[in-house]
Amino acid sequence: MSKKPHPSLSIAALQQAYRDGSMTPVELVDFVVAAIGDDPHKAWIHRVDASTLRAQAHVLVERGPVGLPLWGIPFAIKDNIDLEGAPTTAGCPDYTYIPARSASVVQRLLDAGAIAVGKTNLDQFATGLNGTRSPYGACRNAFNPAYVSGGSSSGSAVAVALGHVSFSLGTDTAGSGRVPAGFNNLVGMKPSLGLLSTHGVVPACRSLDVVSIFALTADDAQQVFSVAHGYDTKDAYSRPAQPHGFDFGRAAHWRVGVPRPDQLRFFGDNAYAQCYADAKDHAQALGATLVEIDFAPFTETAQLLYEGPWVAERYQAIRAFIDTHPEAVFPVTREITMQGAKPLAADAFAAQYRLRALAQRCAGVWADIDCILLPTSPTIHTIATLLADPITRNSDFGYYTNFVNLLDYAAIAVPAGFRSDGLPFGVTFVAQAHQDQPLLHLAQRWQRAQQGAAAMLGATGHAAVPSDAANAVASGQVQVAVCGAHLQGQPLNHQLTSRGARLMQCTTTAAAYRLYALPDGRRPGLIRVDEGGAAIEVEVWELPVSQFGSFVNGIPAPLGIGRTTLADGSMVAGFICEPYGLTGATDITAFGGWRAYIRQGM
């Protein structure tokens, strides 16, 4: 009997395999156990016993997938996040405890049918961006074990990249949920602060920490985020998701900030520099307008992270332990953390004042851009190079990440190609808080447009399969299709732009409409017909819900707002015409749109 090949563990692929019967959760558990093997990459600290995993899979099979959006999907948990009954070490054996309950975010995933495979390696107490600061062994890059995996969520990234699990949870304070994604060809989502509960997470900097998501695709990250996010009264920093506003991730044209050339840093890595240049070209091909920004206030903000109150916060997080067991802490971690015992309260206030001033400078860029496109890391180092100069080389990795949490931004890291030596390169999109959904949409577009090796998932050799991942957060926006005087360049377009509307796409309706020039000669009327219809040119604009009522109120009879079916089959709000308004109107369907008609002199 031939052995089945290791399946793709992307959520979409695995769910398809479950549906068509080519895989069951019990078989999946056996594949996962075999794939991990003796763990030569040092990705894991604790694995749930194989018999326990099989028993959980059997329970899921008996229960069935209905109502369980992550039914039978295996995942890993960074070992500073609690899993009931499994040891939490935070990368320090002497710190170990056995939690009586799972972290809130883990429980949400378990309740959705996901299977927790175990706990993953990390830079001790989540202090580091490299993955070597662990007494359980330096976690090794999924593509070349001589290189660092990135950290601190090292094992969480490598476990996904190697096809051990479908997704994983990490944490991110300074880039720990993004740098390992960049080094291992993954999507790494750093949500807005408070959207994923940190109850049951060993803190690093509690005021900045977020739980992050590693996934093979942005579609997978979307599915996990949809389940994992939610307000939690047990987390003092939890907050509900807010409407995200303009969805630049789905817009035909969007504005992306990039640092001025003199502000880019690659530390001699010319291959990464070229990959970033290629990534900017890729963004433009997706409709982006590149806008050069002054990156200086962002790098100045980043420098605050390892001074003053935020190092003191790291010390406070493990103060009782490190004061009584200093020898149990990894030497470089101890050196960094103990610096937090020195700052005075006055130093903390001074740093907070400095942060507020820098945040105000950074805020000025957002009037001209929708998001920022950055290299996830300026370069990558071998484990040997990192260990020879552990603090300086670690800081190299944070040049483009350290500011994000301090400024309360959201970010998502996505794969963006490879160096000639086969090591991955990634970029990160950064946006303001609560714009997680547009970032996910943009990452989905980014990945779907990639080809060749860039389209491969992690280090698995598998390609993505289509997914119908649903939105997790409402936009607070309304899309409306316009076909006449509200088009760009037409007399009433200002009624949209003055309300903050942005153009999403230029398209056509489904081939089920007819267009008429109304008797006043200034407006068209669009009607749906059962037969003899055609595709009519429209523009889809997005405006805030709060502005939609006044916009509709200003539409004079016989026009109004109904539902318009677009060429791709989707439906949005759109202009309709009352039948009585067509008396004396001229059928102009043959022109294909209002613009073509008026160009012909009406």
Q: How many C-beta neighbours within 10 Å does residue 550 have?
A: 10
Q: For the chain (length 602 residues), average pLDDT per consecutive 10?
A: 68 96 96 97 98 98 97 98 98 98 98 98 97 97 98 98 98 98 98 98 96 98 97 97 92 96 98 98 97 98 87 91 92 89 86 95 97 98 97 97 98 97 98 97 95 89 85 86 96 95 95 95 94 96 93 94 95 94 95 94 64
Amino acid at 483: C
pLDDT of amino acid 504: 93
Domains detected in the chain: 11-455 (3.90.1300.10), 477-599 (3.10.490.10)
CB 12 within 8 A of CB 464: yes
Residue whose tokens read 């017909």: 529
* CA atoms within 13 Å, Cβ hemisphere of 76: 35
* Spatial separation of the C-alpha atoms in residues 7 and 2, rounded to whole Å: 14
CA-based nearest residue to 587, from 511, 530, 536: 536
CA-based nearest residue to 124, from 132, 112, 116: 132
Q: What is the DSSP letter of 101?
A: S
Active-site option among 134, 152, 166, 168: 152
Handedness of CA 269, 270, 272, 276 (dihedral sign): positive
Active site residue 4: no
Active-site option among 8, 10, 42, 78: 78
User: Maximum distance among all alpha carbons in the chain?
Assistant: 90
Active-site option among 168, 176, 377, 467: 176
Q: What's the distance, CA 429 to chain centroid? A: 8
pLDDT of amino acid 5: 63
Amino acid at 284: Q
Q: What is the DSSP letter of 43?
A: -
CA-based nearest residue to 367, from 231, 255, 471, 261: 255
Active site residue 78: yes
CB 175 within 8 A of CB 168: no
Partners of 432 in the β-ladder? 409
Q: How many C-beta neighbours within 10 Å does residue 495 have?
A: 18
